[in-house]
């Protein structure tokens, strides 16, 4: 029996999970299938084969296999930076004077600075194993691009990153970091692709967009021999890879005799939230345990709390397969928000289905409140959080303060997805009180909804 | 019996050291005493009391107590970010095809990004315990200022950081980070002190210097009630606090049955090197074991390899106590080097004595070679190293390549003191091939040596 939980709930190397957990296997109501953007019929593996690696496609389309083995050559990489710390927030608890216990899983100790590396490593491993010699991807805020650059350096595979031009200008050091790992970084739109040239011809001074960067990266992957495209969120195989987050937490909680009541994650495309909650959601779906799950999204981009459950495209250029998801419409233009990783119009289809079916709660937060929470947290817990992660901090603090009122001794877990080293300009704007809280009006939302395609079976 | 060493040699929370190790207790030839800058007689505790905290002064002057307890209220903070990872560099070994085993102690997982937090936490703890309400310090590259800001946020004590003006302009995000933790940051020279005003009057456009920032910080500490000054390197009590680095390594090596042959650290003022090697040096001094110790310094600021062993001032304003040390002269102007943390004219007195007595080897490296090594390391081990730390990486790689030639299966340990997130401009300059390798000429050195004061007993 443990008398006191240590500040860090450590796992040994041989306790790092050797399988991923596929939550879809335990869902009675499965997420709706991907639809081909042309035929609007369910995507087959062959439809996706020119773009994605074979193993990732298999995982994307597999709604039934519960445990999927992590290949040994990938476990080797995971051992270089995992287990990620699971920390008891003793100092935060004390500062809030709450009877609640607060825990956070910190995914920011690897150089990429976030959980993104878990899927970057997996996708790169498979690409290498399938004989690919290069990969392409896009990056906005830069975490995914950095993670991919690290993984490709490790596995010895070429990488081209299309970085949204305005981001590459605002975050020049992200660019340097990605290049230092040996990747080729191209500000998007560029003259290296037809998609880029077309956009530049129409608007030579555009700062670019994630949608455009995706189009460029896919075009190059399709045209280059032994090359595939990789994506860092939204898709089900990405969430599968991220299930290692929740599985490590579950193993550690079991080892130390802790049972969470509330599990909180920030939500953009869903990769962190999905990974963190997966094994706990499995228990809930199987009726073995009950937990509250809370998704926290920015008020400026509220796909869960104000979106529609509908088939929509993943990109603004409407070229990807259609996904049934909570969406603000592929044409929704999120106002500037410093949590760049959460500025996405849609939400992973599995999480969307679980939300629709009542398994997940969601709330949205304005960014000044999020930064208030971040600073409250970092002063006592030491860690500088990413703005994305700070959405979860905000909700965890609110839950703990509720416990203070009610006297309940709840156990709260949240995901601290990454560090804010490359977000100091956001902190600067917070201090200078030049940070605004953008909340889209109903008219703004209506414009976005108007871009959702008409597909039979929408509701 | 372990069959295979894990990638991370983990210590449990209850294995974090509860005492610091004071290597001076085991030295037959003790370091020479501090001399009062006015009387040039050995400093008494009373001489130092207006500037430093009492507990730190006791530790500074204690050459005899071997084990010094870490107070429980400080252990609590250490548990929030320690043990620091000790990593077997399997991937680096493989990429070098060496029979050597390579290990590194990584001090960069806390937000301050380096080992500096170990002493910042200790000095702040003591200040609080002694009833101080505020502290002052200076910072150049910014690691120390960040560490102090974290520690002062944690213990609830006010902090004023004088940051070398040119650094605060070059690294605006360091400034934001320090302010985000709640510290007051003042670019130095400033009009807040007599020292600053005097320098500004003479040279209104100066970018400042560490010497000037120290003078400002000490002046404010002396003038403010319940305020003391803290320093992040060079002094013996700082090295004492850093001994936790080496003690954690020693405990972990013992646990996993590893015995190092060579121990390598980068050397600026000596805080990391001294802390890393301390307990191993103790064994060597007591005749219980033998190890090679290698200090690695920048060729641009070679206090070990080209300096003199003499009494000298710690600052360029010649106001600090005199220390008997390896020095390039307090007036030596190191050429620009991206490893700002290693640009110091002198070296801790204990390490200087040990070097003089043949216990430590030293070598110097030019910065392009250091960055070559950094990039070789990060591509396989993943971690983005600080330029300072990369000096140790360079030497570790060279030692491992020597083993490849000789076929020897040596065990190499090096200190990876921190991360390079705030050094991307240096990496950028490396990629752009605009990085120069500065090596001072004999004439440059002669100018520095001319500033070493004449003190009886110099050799």
- What is the pLDDT tens value at each position of chain A, 459 positions in all? 446 899 999 999 999 999 999 999 999 999 999 999 999 999 999 999 999 999 999 999 999 999 999 999 999 999 999 999 999 999 999 999 999 999 999 999 999 999 999 999 999 999 999 999 999 999 988 999 999 999 999 999 999 999 999 888 888 889 999 999 999 999 999 999 999 999 899 989 988 888 889 999 999 999 999 999 999 999 999 999 999 999 999 999 999 999 999 999 999 999 999 999 999 999 999 999 999 999 999 999 999 999 999 999 998 888 899 999 999 999 998 877 788 888 889 999 999 999 999 999 999 999 999 999 999 999 999 999 999 999 999 999 999 999 999 999 999 999 999 999 989 989 999 999 999 898 999 999 999 999 999 886 544
Residue B386 has pLDDT above 60, yes or no: yes
CB contact under 8 A, A13 and B12: no
Q: Kindly state the tokens that stand for A128.
A: 């290498």
Distance CA(B258)–CA(B86), nearest Å, equals: 12
Q: How confident is the model at residue B1 (pLDDT cuts 50, 70, 90)?
A: very low
Interface of A with B (CB under 8 A): 6-8, 10, 12-14, 79-81, 87, 90-91, 109-111, 150, 153-154, 172-173, 176-177, 179-182, 375, 378-384, 419, 421-422, 424-425, 427-428, 431
Contact between residue B309 and residue B459 where contact means Cβ atoms under 8 Å apart: yes
Q: Which residues of B touch A421 (CB under 8 A)?
A: 421-422
Cα angle: A217, vertex A130, A80; to 5 degrees:
85
What is the distance between the alpha carbons of residues A106 and B109, in angstroms, rounded to a whole number?
A: 11
Q: Which residues of B touch A (CB under 8 A)?
A: 6-8, 10, 12-14, 79-81, 87, 90-91, 109-111, 150, 153-154, 172-173, 176-177, 179-182, 375, 378-384, 419, 421-422, 424-425, 427-428, 431
Which 3 state secondary structure label does DSSP give B405? helix
Which among A6, A13, A154 is the nearest to B7, CB-wise? A13
Write the DSSP symbol of residue B191.
T
CB atoms inside a 10 Å sphere around CB A112: 30
Contact B81 A382 (CB under 8 A): yes
CA distance B274 to chain A (A): 25
pLDDT at B75 over 90: yes
Q: How many A-B residue pairs are in contact by the CB < 8 A criterion?
A: 113
* Closest residue on chain B to A13 (Cα): B6
Q: What is the arithmetic mean of pLDDT over B429-442?
A: 93
Nearest chain B residue to A171, by CA:
B424
The nearest alpha carbon in chain A to B153 belongs to A379
* B379/A422 touch (CB, cutoff 8 Å), yes or no: no
Asked whether the beta carbons of B100 and B33 are under 8 A apart, the reply is: no
DSSP B200-231: HHH-TT----HHHHHHHHHHHHHHSTTEEE--
Closest CA to B397 of B373, B424, B363: B373
The CA angle A6-A9-A15, to the nearest 5 degrees, is: 145
Q: How far apart are CA B208 and CA B217, in angstroms?
A: 13
In the numeric block, which tokens belong to residue B177?
A: 């980070």
B257-300 pLDDT per residue, tens:
999 999 999 999 999 999 999 999 999 999 999 999 999 999 99
* Spacing of C-alpha A202 from chain mean position: 32
Q: Do B382 and A180 touch (CB under 8 A)?
A: no
Cβ of B153 within 8 Å of Cβ of A179? The answer is: no
Kindly determine whether residue B182 and residue A91, on different chains, have CB atoms separated by under 8 Å: no
Give contacts of A10 with chain B, Cβ < 8 Å. 10, 12-13
Interchain proximity A153–B379, CB inside 8 Å = yes
Answer whether A378 sits within 8 Å of B153, measured CB to CB.
Answer: yes
With contact defined as beta carbons under 8 Å apart, do B68 and B59 qualify? Answer: yes
Determine whether the interchain pair A153/B380 forms a contact, defined as Cβ–Cβ distance below 8 Å: yes
> What's the mean pLDDT in B46-53?
96
The per-residue DSSP string of B307-323 comes to -EEEEEESSTTS-SPEE
Rounded to the nearest angstrom, the minimum Cα separation between A311 and chain B is 39
The CA distances from residue B45 to B40, B42, B53, B56, B58, in Å, are 15, 10, 10, 10, 7
Min CA distance, A383 vs chain B (Å)? 5
Taking the C-alpha atoms of residue A130 and residue A279, their distance in angstroms, rounded to an integer, is 29
Say whether A378 and B180 touch across the interface (CB within 8 A). Answer: yes
Distance from CA of A97 to the nearest CA of B (A): 16
**Residues of chain A contacting B177 with CB distance shorter than 8 Å:** 384, 424, 427
Where would I find the H helices in A363-423?
367-381, 387-406
What residues of A are in contact with residue B424 (Cβ under 8 Å)?
172-173, 176-177
- Cα–Cα distance between A342 and A298 in angstroms, integer? 7
pLDDT at B3 (0 to 100): 62
Stretch B379-384: mean pLDDT, rounded? Answer: 96
Q: Which residue of B has its CA nearest to A155?
A: B380
> Whose CA is closest to A306, among A449, A451, A452?
A449
Beta bridge partners of B363: B296
Phi-psi sector, A198: left (phi>0), alpha (psi -120 to 50), beta: alpha
3-state secondary structure A80-96: HHCCCCEEECHHHHHHH
List, in sequence order, every beta strand (DSSP E) within A4-117.
19-21, 67-69, 86-88, 101-106
Cα–Cα distance for residue pair A342/A337, rounded to 1 Å? 8
Q: Using CB atoms, which residue from B80, B90, B381 is nearest to A7?
A: B80
Contact state of A180 with B384 under an 8 Å Cβ cutoff: yes
CA distance B393 to chain A (A): 17
CB contact under 8 A, A378 and B419: no
Residue B346, both tokens: 């002198």
Residues in chain B closer than 8 A to A110 (CB atoms): 382-383
d(CA A382, CA A369): 19
Which tokens belong to B60? 């500074």
Residues of A in contact with B110 (CB under 8 A): 382-383
Shortest distance, CA A376 to any CA of chain B (angstroms): 9
What predicted TM-score, i.e. pTM, was given to this entire model? 0.95
Q: What is the pLDDT of residue A141?
A: 82
- The three-state secondary structure class of A6 is coil
Which among B172, B378, B382 has the least Cβ separation from residue A81?
B382
Inter-residue contact A167 to A193 (CB < 8 Å): no
Q: Whole-angstrom Cα distance, residue A301 to residue A269? A: 11
Buried residues in B351-364 as b, exposed as e (16+ CB within 10 A):
bbbbbbeebbbbbb
Report the residue count for chain A: 459
Name the DSSP letter for residue B83.
S
- Contact criterion met (CB below 8 Å) for B369 and B435: no
For residue A382, the chain B residue with the least C-alpha distance is B150
Tell me: pLDDT of B2 over 60.
no
Report CB contact under 8 Å: B384, A419. no
Say if residues A118 and A242 touch (Cβ distance below 8 Å).
Answer: yes
Helices B424-431 + B367-381 axis angle, to 10: 110
Helices (H), B345-441: 349-356, 367-381, 387-406, 424-431
The full set of domains in chain B, from first to last, is 78-111+236-449 (3.40.50.1100)
Taking a C-beta distance cutoff of 8 angstroms, is the pair A245, A276 a contact? yes
Give the pLDDT of residue A318: 87
For A177, the closest of B90, B150, B424 (CB atoms) is B424
B-chain residue closest to A79, CA distance: B7
Nearest CA in chain B to A174: B424
Give alpha helix (H) positions in B36-142.
Answer: 45-48, 54-61, 72-81, 90-96, 116-129
C-alpha B406/C-alpha B404 separation (Å) is 6
Encoded tokens for B331? 């007036």
With CB atoms and an 8 Å threshold, state whether B111 touches A378: yes
Extract long-range pairs of B44-53: CB within 8 Å, 24+ residues apart. B47/B321, B48/B321, B50/B221, B50/B222, B51/B218, B51/B221, B51/B222, B51/B228, B51/B229, B52/B228, B52/B229, B52/B230, B53/B123, B53/B126, B53/B127, B53/B130, B53/B132, B53/B228, B53/B230
Contact assessment for residue B190 and residue B162, using Cβ atoms and an 8 Å cutoff = yes
Kindly tell me the burial class for residue A181, based on how many C-beta atoms sit within 10 Å of its own C-beta (0-12, 13-18, 19 or more): buried
Q: Which of A72, A73, A80 to mutate to test the interface with B (most CBs of B within 10 A)?
A: A80
Q: What is the mean pLDDT of chain B?
A: 94
Question: Which residue of B82, B87, B173, B256 is the best one to mutate when testing the A interface, meaning the one whose CB has the most A CBs within 10 A?
Answer: B173
Do the Cβ atoms of A381 and B80 come within 8 Å? yes
Q: How far apart are the first and last CA of chain A?
A: 51
Nearest CA in chain B to A6: B13
Tokens 């997130």 belong to B421
Residue B191's CB is within 10 A of a number of other CB atoms, namely: 10
Question: Cβ contact (<8 Å) for A380 and B153?
Answer: yes
Per-residue model confidence as pLDDT tens digits over B200-216: 999 899 888 888 899 89
Contact A135, A224 (CB under 8 A): no
**DSSP secondary structure string for all residues of B123-162:** HHHHHHHTT--EEEEEESSSHHHHHHHHHHHHHT-EEEEE
The Cα–Cα gap between B117 and B136 comes to: 16
Collect all residues with Cβ–Cβ distance below 8 Å to B376 and sequence separation of at least 6: B92, B95, B393, B397
Q: Which of A111, A180, A382 sits opposite B427 (nearest CB)?
A: A180
Asked if the Cβ–Cβ distance from B427 to A382 is below 8 Å, we say no
- Please report the DSSP string for B253-299 in residue order: HHHHT---SEEEEE-SSSHHHHHHHHHHHHHHHTTS---EEEEEEET
- As for the ipTM of the complex, it is 0.92
B375-387 as b/e: b if 16+ CB within 10 A = bbbbbbbbbbbbb
Residue percentage of chain B with pLDDT more than 90: 87
CA distance A374 to A388: 10
% of chain B exceeding 70 in pLDDT = 98
Minimum Cα–Cα distance from B89: chain A residue: A80
Q: Which of B195, B275, B281, B265 is nearest to B235 (CA)?
A: B275
């Amino acid at each position: 029996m443990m008398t006191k939980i240590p500040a860090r709930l450590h796992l040994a190397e041989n306790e790092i999970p050797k399988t991923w957990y596929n939550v879809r296997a335990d869902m009675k109501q499965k997420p709706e299938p991907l639809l081909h953007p042309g035929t609007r019929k369910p995507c087959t593996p062959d439809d996706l084969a020119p773009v994605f690696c074979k193993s990732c496609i298999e995982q994307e389309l597999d709604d039934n296999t519960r445990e999927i083995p992590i290949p040994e050559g990938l476990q080797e990489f995971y051992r270089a930076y995992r287990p990620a710390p699971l920390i008891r927030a003793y100092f935060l608890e004390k500062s809030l004077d709450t009877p609640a216990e607060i825990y956070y899983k910190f995914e920011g100790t690897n150089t990429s600075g976030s959980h993104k590396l878990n899927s970057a490593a997996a996708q790169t491993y498979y690409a290498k194993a399938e004989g690919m010699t290069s990969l392409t991807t896009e990056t906005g805020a830069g975490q995914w691009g950095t993670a991919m650059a690290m993984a490709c350096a490790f596995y010895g595979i070429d990488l081209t990153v299309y970085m949204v031009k305005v981001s590459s200008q605002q975050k020049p050091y992200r660019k340097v970091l990605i290049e230092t790992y040996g990747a080729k970084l191209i500000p998007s739109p560029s003259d290296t692709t037809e998609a880029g040239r077309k956009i530049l011809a129409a608007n030579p001074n555009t700062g670019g967009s994630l949608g455009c960067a995706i189009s460029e990266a896919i075009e190059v992957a399709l045209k280059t021999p032994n090359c595939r495209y990789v994506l860092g969120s939204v898709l089900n195989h990405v969430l599968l890879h991220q299930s290692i987050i929740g599985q490590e937490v579950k193993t550690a909680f079991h080892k130390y005799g802790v049972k969470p009541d509330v599990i909180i994650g920030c939500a953009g495309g869903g990769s962190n939230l999905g990974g963190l909650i997966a094994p706990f959601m499995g228990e809930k779906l199987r009726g073995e345990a009950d937990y509250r799950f809370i998704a926290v999204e920015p008020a400026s981009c509220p796909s869960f709390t104000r979106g529609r459950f509908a088939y929509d495209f993943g990109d603004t250029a409407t070229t990807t397969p259609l996904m049934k998801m909570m969406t603000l419409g592929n044409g929704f233009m999120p106002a500037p928000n410093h949590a760049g990783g959460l500025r996405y119009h849609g939400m992973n289809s599995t999480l969307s289905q679980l939300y629709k079916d009542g398994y997940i709660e969601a709330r949205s937060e304005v960014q000044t409140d999020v930064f208030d929470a971040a600073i409250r947290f970092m002063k006592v817990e030491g860690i500088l959080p990413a703005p994305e992660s700070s959405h979860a901090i905000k909700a965890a603090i609110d839950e703990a303060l509720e416990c203070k009122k009610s006297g309940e001794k709840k156990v709260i877990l949240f995901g601290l997805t990454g560090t804010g080293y490359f977000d100091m300009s956001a902190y600067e704007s917070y201090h200078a009180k030049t940070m605004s809280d953008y909340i889209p009006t109903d008219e703004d939302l209506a414009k976005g909804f108007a871009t959702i395609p008409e597909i039979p079976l929408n509701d």
